Chains A and B, each alone.
Chain A
């Protein structure tokens, strides 16, 4: 399955609003998308804000995103850009 590792770059980390943006973005793809902390822990559903908030990702936290489905590559590319952009936070 295609995957890639991204680093949370905004100062405030993966708080509620970025989590919402990420979930909304993930939901726009048909692929199943899961995310886990690169330093361990469970996979969570990238389309669920609640589950994304469970990751407790702070600035600098590395996340491994895995996608499975027809638009998997495109989903990874888009999510990667979103996280790298810092969610236009602050």
Chain B
């Protein structure tokens, strides 16, 4: 599964304004809506779902990254928004470190196996020090896309 096919270019926010978890999720969700990748009518339901998911257990799995996600019956396609925060956001991460990079994943409930594949593809990259470092340093959506395209092509290591 190629991440590039799931990431919405106009929903890459390299300088998140939000400083709190819920606000950051909302900002990325709004970016997806602005990009017309998610219908605005689903905003509140998705926001609530993502936040409830975080309350059941943080998706801040450590190393400064978090992958909040929503499984929905109301969409047929996967969508990912990517956000960076220079100052860091408290995601109640397992290692208690602030989160600097966020992948917000919207998954169709009916495509369970692909949801697992998408998470696998995300963590195949976020699990690498070098990818996390470059992602955090990215200052434009183009930088992020280039990084993701290289990752899809298997060009990043470490």
Contact = CB atoms under 8 A, between A and B. Distances in A.
Interface of A: 11-17, 20, 48-51, 53-59
Given A16-B59, A17-B57, A50 B127 contact: yes
Interface of B: 56-57, 59, 61-63, 67, 69, 94, 112-113, 115-117, 119-124, 126-127
Contacts of B116: 12-15, 56-58
**Interface residues of chain B: helix, strand, loop or mixed (majority):** helix
Contacts of B113: 13, 58
**Interface residues of chain A: helix, strand, loop or mixed (majority):** loop
Contacts of B127: 48, 50-51, 54
B38 to A, nearest CB: 20
Nearest to A24: B94
20 contacts: A12-B116, A13-B116, A15-B116, A16-B59, A16-B69, A17-B56, A17-B57, A20-B57, A48-B127, A49-B94, A53-B123, A54-B120, A54-B123, A55-B120, A56-B116, A56-B117, A56-B119, A56-B121, A58-B112, A59-B112
Given A55-B120, A56-B121, 20 more contacts: A11-B112, A13-B116, A14-B116, A15-B115, A16-B59, A16-B67, A16-B69, A17-B57, A48-B127, A49-B61, A50-B61, A50-B63, A50-B123, A51-B123, A53-B120, A53-B122, A54-B120, A56-B117, A56-B120, A58-B113
